[in-house]
Chains A and B, each alone.
Chain A
């Protein structure tokens, strides 16, 4: 009995550490793919690690009127993202932490991190922070219902809101065309782009005040705080990709307790994340940044697609 708990604890630790450590690599891979597609040589896929080390070595500078909230927000964000990365079945189902949150609570975990980042941005009282917080909340208030709608389709297919059950059932069913899941998948990609401040909604590489959303939020941070926020965002991006993989291409995720299938599962994860990163880079290369007031339209489209997915599921049963 104790051995069982020890083994599941170990596999939980493996997954969490793996995701936390490869998250910057994922961002670097997407940036590198984008660079290749734009005929640039690119900074190399290890660049996010170099940035993190650089930031961790620097001193953190705080504004005089910064409250404890400002100082604690990066840790809360990082903690939320690590929790999310531990709950989602990324290499294995039935993890130790998995009962902690189903898909709906997972959306809540992301929302918690977002609320603190917005509060911290407003804390110092600069105009940019407030502007960024408002824009972030505008995008979030529209992407969250869309994300929940996306989750409802696989939820209805499986009749359970636990990601474990969803992955176990979907990965071991007979192959069938699910048009509803295809709708949900497209909607999910749109939500992913919006939530992670990727190109059609926000450009993470810009510091132009008219367009930035995410960068405006973290403008006041420096040193280890900034490093933690950047790292948390990398984990968030990787976790989102992993949720997409778990819902729509779950083949290859290991069943519980099988040490011998774990290397295969990790290999499958790397292949799938690699393909997903290249695909996202392609999407970001071929689409232009939208005006901020087009973002509600983009997200309402995502919501509509997710709702259509659910409706077709109810009508066609597929």
Chain B
């Protein structure tokens, strides 16, 4: 039963990753990110309970605290302050992005298959999904033009990495995990300040403005 629940959580992670790829509204992206964090926490709890690795409970607690409550609140605040609730423009249209996403999932599954066959953990099947989640978040960062969705993509990628760690080795050592979490918070705070600076300088959060090296060229 636990194995089935873990598989269910893994499928939900994949589903949310795809939903983020397809989402046009920036606020819904934030909510999806919060949901992904919640699923990740529940998955940690189940794996921790089943394998007796009780430090995973602590990891789940931090995940809820940071990724479900704190970071979405910060992002929400930033979006309101910057006044950018409207639709996100994508570089490629959404059906094409989806097809690219499916290709990535096939690639990730193939990549993980030999590893999973060697492993004997209860979570071995979910490694492919974890790699897919990382790659999908990467794809989202590539196909989005504005700064905030790219940051959400970065955070989703970090979610995928945590999930990969949980499914491959029942979680990273606590010190590493705490270090990464701290990095993510600091990263988001710095990027938050950075957004204001970018808007100040270019009157927009569209990152194509930053590709020009000299101001005089415009």
CA A316 to CA B22, docked complex, whole Å: 24
B148 proximity list for chain A (CB < 8 A): none
The verdict on B18 contacting chain A, using a C-beta distance below 8 Å, is yes
Report whether A315 and B15 are in contact in the complex, using a CB–CB cutoff of 8 Å.
no
Whether A297 contacts B94 in the complex (CB less than 8 A), given A177-B5, A308-B105, A318-B4, comes out as: yes
Question: A229 CB to closest chain B CB, in angstroms?
Answer: 31
Question: A189 CB to closest chain B CB, in angstroms?
Answer: 15
Secondary structure at chain A's binding surface: helix, strand, loop or mixed?
Answer: helix
Whether A315 contacts B128 in the complex (CB less than 8 A), given A176-B4, A182-B11, A301-B98, comes out as: yes
State which residues 112-146 of B face A: CB under 8 Å. 112-113, 125-126, 128-129
CA A303 to CA B94, docked complex, whole Å: 13
Question: A293 CB to closest chain B CB, in angstroms?
Answer: 11
B18 proximity list for chain A (CB < 8 A): 304-305, 308
Total count of chain B residues near the partner, CB < 8 A: 26
Whether A314 contacts B109 in the complex (CB less than 8 A), given A304-B18, A308-B15, A308-B18, comes out as: yes
Report whether B102 and A308 are in contact in the complex, using a CB–CB cutoff of 8 Å.
yes
A-B contact count (CB 8 A): 62
Report whether A297 and B4 are in contact in the complex, using a CB–CB cutoff of 8 Å.
no
Report whether A316 and B106 are in contact in the complex, using a CB–CB cutoff of 8 Å.
no
State which residues 69-108 of A face B: CB under 8 Å. none
CA A316 to CA B95, docked complex, whole Å: 26
Flag A285-305 by CB within 8 Å of B: 1 or 0 each.
000000000001100110111
Cβ-defined partner of B105 (8 Å) among A297, A300, A311: A311
Question: A76 CB to closest chain B CB, in angstroms?
Answer: 33
The verdict on B10 contacting chain A, using a C-beta distance below 8 Å, is yes
B109 proximity list for chain A (CB < 8 A): 311, 314-315
Question: A30 CB to closest chain B CB, in angstroms?
Answer: 27
The verdict on A312 contacting chain B, using a C-beta distance below 8 Å, is yes
CA A177 to CA B129, docked complex, whole Å: 17
A308 proximity list for chain B (CB < 8 A): 14-15, 18, 102, 105
Closest to A179 in B: B11
The verdict on B160 contacting chain A, using a C-beta distance below 8 Å, is no
| 26 examples of A-B residue contacts, CB within 8 angstroms | A177-B5, A177-B8, A180-B11, A182-B11, A183-B11, A296-B95, A297-B22, A297-B94, A297-B95, A300-B94, A300-B95, A300-B99, A301-B98, A304-B18, A304-B99, A304-B101, A305-B15, A308-B15, A312-B7, A312-B14, A312-B129, A315-B125, A316-B125, A316-B126, A317-B125, A318-B4
A179-B10, A182-B11, A316-B126 given; name 10 further pairs at CB < 8 Å: A177-B4, A297-B94, A300-B94, A308-B15, A308-B105, A311-B102, A312-B11, A315-B112, A315-B113, A317-B125
